[in-house]
Amino acid sequence: MHANRSPTEIAESAAAPLARLFAVAVLVVLFGVGMSAFLNYFKFQSAVESAARSRMAVPASAVREGVQASLALGLPLASAAAVPDLLARERQADAAIQAISIFDTAGRVRFSTDARAVGTTVPATWLAAAGDAREVWHLVAAGFAVQGLRLRNSFDVPQGSVAVSYTTADQQQALQRMRAALLRIALVGGAGSALLAMLAVWGVLRTWSARHGARARDDGTQGHSAPLQARLAGAILLVAVLGLGGVSWATQRAFDANLQPELARKAAVVARSVGELVGTAIHYGIQMPELVGVEAHLADVRRQHPELARLAILDTRGVPRFAVGEHTLEAGVRVPIGDAAHPLGSVEVGVSAAYLRSILFEVLLDLAVVFVVAAFLTRELLQFITATDPRLGAAPASGGAVLARMRVPLFLFMLAEELTRAFVPGFARALLGASVNVSTDVAVGVPITVFMLVVALGQAPLASWSERVGLRRAMQWGALVGVVGLAGAALAQGFHAFIAWRALCGLGYATVFVAAQGVVIAHTTQAERTRGFALFVGAIMVAAVCGPPLGGILADHVGARAGFAVAAAVALAAVLAVRLLPRDASGAVIASPRLSWRDVVRVLGERRFLHITVLAAVPAKLILASFCFYLVPIYVVSLGAPTAAAGRALMVYAAVLVLVLPWAAHLAERGVSQALLVGGGLCVSALGGFGLLLWSGVAPVFLAMALLGLGQGLSIAAQSSLLSLACAEEIREHGSAALFGAYRLIERLGNASGPLLAGGLVASFGHAGAFALIAALVLACGLLFLLLAGAMRGTQVVAVRA
Amino acid sequence: MVVLICLVAWLSPALAARPFRIYAVTYRGATEVERGFADYFAERGIPVEITYRDIALDTARLPALVEEIRRVRPDLVYTWGSGVTLGIVGPWDQADPARYITDIPVVFSLVAAPVNARIVPSMQSSRRNVTGVSHVASLAAQMKVMSAYKAFRCVGLLYSPNEPNALAVLDDLRAEGRRRGFTVQARAFATDAAGKPTPDGVPGLIGELRRAGAEWLYLPPDSFLSTQAKGLVVPAAQQAGLPAFASTEPLMAAGALAGLVSRYYTVGQFAGYKAEQILVNKQSPSRIPVETLTRFSLQIRLTVARRLGLLPPLAMFNYAEMLDADFSAPAKPAVEPTR
């Protein structure tokens, strides 16, 4: 499969694949630099937006407190005389405020700093946003945003809302400045890293050929390209890290420069509100030195606004009387207490550098994910080049080269589907709307189940269809159907339409899957087949590592719809990549026998078959589908963590699986019993599910995913080997097709039922309960399997002796 | 049949417009509670016709009013305070239909402790034709505000040994102390031969509390205490340098340093809201929980604070209402105790 090359040949032909290797290097570093710029930009955007929101929350809550006080005094909302003054005063808090309004539960504006608005009705979107919220609501429109707080009377009955509408023009300007700065950084950083990457590739090839060429000439030994490939990958990734680091460093400075003014504005608003409070106390005849509990209040304010490093109250001579927080290097914002005629002192607020650092640290976490993805991408691309480039000795028509070519569209298509993993359930929930009832949890699982069901039931008929029309063509059509499904999902307006589009995605997925499988069978001999399937599974696994975290990042920053659109674009790239396959790819197809009902019934009569499928295969798929596709994305987001965190958790699963699979094969080779691997793996995979009952937060989800990856890695390969061992008689009499056909079908039905089961359990027992109950079920199956396997071994031994 | 349908169609707007008849029984004349109650219907545009009856502190007049209610058969009965309410509906476990109103919905207001007064078995449901509102903040909320003002490890309490209500508060306070980590020093008022509390020796009792380590004097909703607060208890506490915390508006008015009190007007509005659930939304009173307000006013007497050398912490200027201040500031918002 791998091109076995002598180093001399590589040295001589180094010039030839150089262009392609350069392309790989440039692609990888540009991906890294581009993602870094993208992530930093969106982090900046959310930091600017949240600074503005919390800034507007200060006058909004001041108005709410004042109005609710009037309500407590028994004044009806419509007749509180002090309210207009209060609104006018708070409007001065910030120049960006366009209007502060108070509207009742029917949406009628009762008071507003904009006189024309009084008596009109607020837009339906405002009313909807306010109605959905218990306390705070927020909405963004073109050019302005609204920060709202609900008003309640003294016995908690909603009376309406306070709405502070403010222009986002200044935010847009800040974003524009940041875009310009990032573009410069990305262009310079991208060009620089691309050059450096090419230089590194050239350098590696040169030193390699110098050293190994000489040695090969001396002793005539044959080398292997794998170490070279590792060196190339290392060099490219080193440059990618440098690029990521350099861009992040430069971004940090742009970040600082552009975010500081926004934070200073917020500091001024907070300082003003603290100043007003101190002013009130002083008006009551209390002297500044007499004030009690000032530090406690300042510390409280600082807790609410983590961007602020220091708050201090200064007397009329500028001497600090009270202060909390650490000194900042930059001068803070100073706001006077009292009016100009009677100054009472001032409030000084400094902005925290630690806050900026914490934002950038969050970006680093995402960048680490980008790096992992870049590493897998590099490996994938280099393998493709080594296996397909005739100058590197690969025969273009050979099976290995065809498989390497097939791997590209397969990887791209699977990546497209994996991109959506982390946000499909959340998107489904959003489409269902605010109506929260018991069935919502189940309904969210329906699109996932429909997808799985189409995949499970579609594979057999699609396999024979793809053999009829040709594998290359089938793969192209499948990918195209996937593009349409993903694009449709991106545009879906209703829940039912979304289910239909996901069903189409399932059809595309099943088609590409069986066609790629067909390519492996058609282009490998019996001896090469295991290795061929390893390549096939490898592409899917790499996609599973890279897709979910990238998709989560996309969903967080540009939304799930854009995430589907990107997935559709990647799937389109897969459609084009199918052209890499030679036209005669469908050449030597061995028509696989179709699975008939009679076969299924016969196979189901096998006790050992039932034992393995019902107690091992179905539970394994059940826990996989319910955890990875449903519970993790929904649960992580419900904790308030970003979708990217859900994606990272799914990545942990796939990454552990990738690492464990070869180790499990090694264990099997060393004679560890297959049944033990299957049963033990199943039990291990379930353990993490209980952790969610013990600990809260995201960490136990990561643990559960790692254990799931470990357990599945131990058991899945052993499962099919065990099946062929246990049902050797059936295989001898009828061949393995019916056996494995029925096995895969039942297993995939387990896959499809997972999300529905999870949804039902969430509705009754909550997220942690659902995790634990499914884990308990799977653990019970695993233990029972081990028990029966022991008994079965016993009877086997007895039978042999007899 | 057609005629009948036409008649119903013609009558129904008239039926809808017929005002609800409410029979209101008060203890000591109309208060802010009744104003809030009546204003609530006006504000919501619900037509009502309220008949007021006052017993002028004489509970002996209640049986005659029960008779009148039976005769008039109003849509709803409104009652003020524990005494009036018990006289109209009786204790929940001994509501004799011959003596009390059982077949007409009753909404009570201004009952400090509806469970202790045996008007309802639990706050969730009266299990009968009664619901209503209390005006006292939960003890937990009051203790939280007290410790926000000035942290304490020991609270003092004077109580009437003959008032079950006061004893119940003492138990609750001790339980709250175990939760929040403070001790309770309690002294009973001296009693006469008949077992009734007397004001004798109050300064001495307060001095005892102070010496025993009390850092606050908590003034619970206690009838005898209320009569003695202004003239005796609060001045004695101030003399001893012990800050007093009031649980009701009258106790606050007696000169306490601070208090978490409800506005009577709002209590009346809340009773109006409960009446609306019954009259307009046709809910059964037994399905409407008995509740207290979610927002109370924190009142602070700055002159007393100064005298005691206990100025309130800065944050309280955000939400407390300052009484007797040198400067009349705009109305201050209410406090939202955590329930």
Which residue of A66, A284, A297 is in closest CB contact with B302? A284
Domains of chain B: 17-135+264-287 (3.40.50.2300), 139-261+295-323 (3.40.50.2300)
| Residue keyed to tokens 């269902």 | A432
Report the alpha-carbon distance of residue A795 to residue A790 in Å, rounded.
Answer: 9
In this predicted structure, the answer to whether residue A270 has a pLDDT above a threshold of 50 is yes
C-alpha A21, offset from chain centre = 30
Minimum mean pLDDT range among A2-16, A556-570, B13-27: A2-16
In this predicted structure, the answer to whether residue A574 has a pLDDT above a threshold of 80 is yes
Residue A134: name the closest of A111, A109, A165, A161 by CA: A161
Shortest Cα–Cα distance, B35 to chain A (Å): 10
Q: List CB contacts of A111: < 8 A, sequence separation 6 or more.
A: A83, A84, A87, A101, A102, A118
CATH of the domain at A655: 1.20.1250.20
Residue A652 · residue A708 · CB < 8 Å: no
For residues A398-404, give the mean pLDDT. 75
B212: tokens are 């025993």
Interface of B with A in 26-45 (CB under 8 A): 32, 35-36, 39, 43
**Strand A136-141 with A144-152, pairing:** antiparallel
CB contact under 8 A, B334 and A72: yes
Q: Would residue A478 count as lying in a domain?
A: no
| Residue keyed to tokens 């790692």 | A706
Q: Would residue A715 count as lying in a domain?
A: yes
Q: Give the residue on B whose Cα is nearest the Cα of A293.
A: B313
Alpha-helical runs (H) found in chain B: 2-17, 32-44, 62-72, 81-89, 139-149, 164-180, 202-211, 223-228, 234-239, 249-253, 264-279, 302-308
What does the pLDDT read at residue A461? 85
What does the pLDDT read at residue A220? 47
| Residue keyed to tokens 């007696």 | B254
pLDDT per residue as tens digits for the range A506-515: 999 999 998 8
pLDDT per residue as tens digits for the range A180-189: 999 999 999 9
What does the pLDDT read at residue A673? 82
Report the alpha-carbon distance of residue B313 to residue B147 in Å, rounded.
Answer: 11
Q: Would residue A671 count as lying in a domain?
A: yes
- Give B50 or A332, the one with higher predicted confidence: B50
Residue A143 · residue A169 · CB < 8 Å: yes
Which residue of A74, A281, A300 is in closest CB contact with B265? A74
Residue A328 · residue A350 · CB < 8 Å: yes
Q: Give the three-class secondary structure for A713.
A: helix
Shortest Cα–Cα distance, A64 to chain B (Å): 9
- Give A445 or A226, the one with higher predicted confidence: A445
Q: C-alpha angle B26/B31/B37, rounded to 5°?
A: 80
CB atoms within 10 A of CB B200: 11
Confidence of residue A802 (pLDDT cuts 50, 70, 90): very low
Which residue of A70, A74, A157 is in closest CB contact with B273? A157
pLDDT per residue as tens digits for the range A26-46: 988 888 888 888 888 888 888
In this predicted structure, the answer to whether residue A597 has a pLDDT above a threshold of 80 is no
In this predicted structure, the answer to whether residue A197 has a pLDDT above a threshold of 80 is yes
Residue A555 · residue A563 · CB < 8 Å: yes
Burial class (CB in 10 A: 0-12, 13-18, 19+), A513: buried
Residue A39 · residue A566 · CB < 8 Å: no
- Determine the length of chain A: 802
What does the pLDDT read at residue A81? 63
What does the pLDDT read at residue A584? 60
In this predicted structure, the answer to whether residue A672 has a pLDDT above a threshold of 90 is no
Q: C-alpha angle A599/A602/A603, rounded to 5°?
A: 85
Report the alpha-carbon distance of residue A586 to residue A588 in Å, rounded.
Answer: 6
Confidence of residue A264 (pLDDT cuts 50, 70, 90): confident
* Residue A136, φ and ψ in degrees, nearest 5: -100, 140
In this predicted structure, the answer to whether residue A797 has a pLDDT above a threshold of 50 is no
Q: Would residue A569 count as lying in a domain?
A: no
Burial class (CB in 10 A: 0-12, 13-18, 19+), A800: exposed
A685: tokens are 């995979």
Q: Would residue A792 count as lying in a domain?
A: yes
CB contact under 8 A, B312 and A292: yes
Structural domain boundaries, residue A784: 602-802
The secondary element (H helix, E strand) that includes residue A484 is helix A471-491
Q: Would residue A555 count as lying in a domain?
A: no
Q: Give the residue on B whose Cα is nearest the Cα of A68.
A: B333
In this predicted structure, the answer to whether residue A78 has a pLDDT above a threshold of 60 is no
For residues A229-247, give the mean pLDDT. 87
pLDDT per 10-residue tile (average), chain B, 339 residues:
53 63 92 92 92 90 94 95 92 91 94 89 93 91 92 94 83 93 95 89 94 95 87 94 92 92 89 95 94 87 93 89 60 43
Which residue of A82, A152, A278 is in closest CB contact with B314? A278
CB contact under 8 A, B262 and A296: no
In this predicted structure, the answer to whether residue A80 has a pLDDT above a threshold of 80 is no
CB atoms within 10 A of CB A500: 16
Flag whether residue B52 sits within 8 Å of chain A, measured between CB atoms: no
Which residues sit opposite A109 in a β-bridge? A103
A704: tokens are 């559960």
Report the alpha-carbon distance of residue A155 to residue B275 in Å, rounded.
Answer: 14
- Expressed in angstroms, the distance from the first to the final Cα of chain A is 46
- Expressed in angstroms, the distance from the first to the final Cα of chain B is 56
- A interface with B, Cβ–Cβ below 8 Å: 65-66, 68-70, 72-74, 76, 82, 152-157, 277-278, 280-281, 283-286, 290-294, 296-297, 300
Residue A724 · residue A608 · CB < 8 Å: no
Report the alpha-carbon distance of residue A91 to residue A95 in Å, rounded.
Answer: 8
Q: Which ipTM score applies to this complex?
A: 0.81
Q: Would residue A355 count as lying in a domain?
A: no
The string of DSSP letters for A43-79 reads HHHHHHHHHHHHHHHHHHHHHHHHHHHHHHTT--GGG
CB contact under 8 A, B329 and A157: no
Minimum mean pLDDT range among A680-684, A737-741, B79-83, B181-185: A737-741
In this predicted structure, the answer to whether residue A703 has a pLDDT above a threshold of 50 is yes
pLDDT per residue as tens digits for the range A450-503: 998 998 888 888 888 888 888 888 999 999 999 999 999 999 888 889 999 999
Q: Give the three-class secondary structure for B89.
A: helix
| Chain B residues touching A73 at Cβ < 8 A | 263, 265, 331
What does the pLDDT read at residue A8? 41
For residues A725-732, give the mean pLDDT. 77
CB contact under 8 A, B302 and A277: no
Q: Would residue A613 count as lying in a domain?
A: yes
What does the pLDDT read at residue B216? 97
Percentage of chain A exceeding pLDDT 90: 25
A608-612, A741-745, B143-147 — most confident range: B143-147
Residue A193 · residue A242 · CB < 8 Å: yes
Q: Mutate one of B46, B307, B314, B335 to test the A interface: name it (highest A CB count within 10 A).
A: B314
Q: Give Cα separations from A4 to A220, A224, A393, A434, A533 (angstroms).
A: 15, 6, 8, 60, 20
**Amino acid at position A2, single letter:** H
For residues A273-300, give the mean pLDDT. 90
Structural domain count of chain A? 1
| Chain B residues touching A82 at Cβ < 8 A | 330-331
Which residue of A82, A277, A284 is in closest CB contact with B326? A284
Q: Give Cα separations from A37 to A42, A247, A356, A550, A584 (angstroms).
A: 9, 7, 17, 14, 43
Residue B40: name the closest of B109, B93, B103 by CA: B109
Shortest Cα–Cα distance, A62 to chain B (Å): 9
CB atoms within 10 A of CB A60: 24
Report the alpha-carbon distance of residue A477 to residue A480 in Å, rounded.
Answer: 5
Report the alpha-carbon distance of residue A710 to residue A714 in Å, rounded.
Answer: 6
CB contact under 8 A, A154 and B270: yes
Confidence of residue A581 (pLDDT cuts 50, 70, 90): confident
Residue B236 · residue B158 · CB < 8 Å: no
Shortest Cα–Cα distance, A129 to chain B (Å): 24
Shortest Cα–Cα distance, A161 to chain B (Å): 16
| Chain B residues touching A300 at Cβ < 8 A | 315
Return the C-alpha torsion angle A158, A161, A162, A165, nearest 10.
Answer: 160
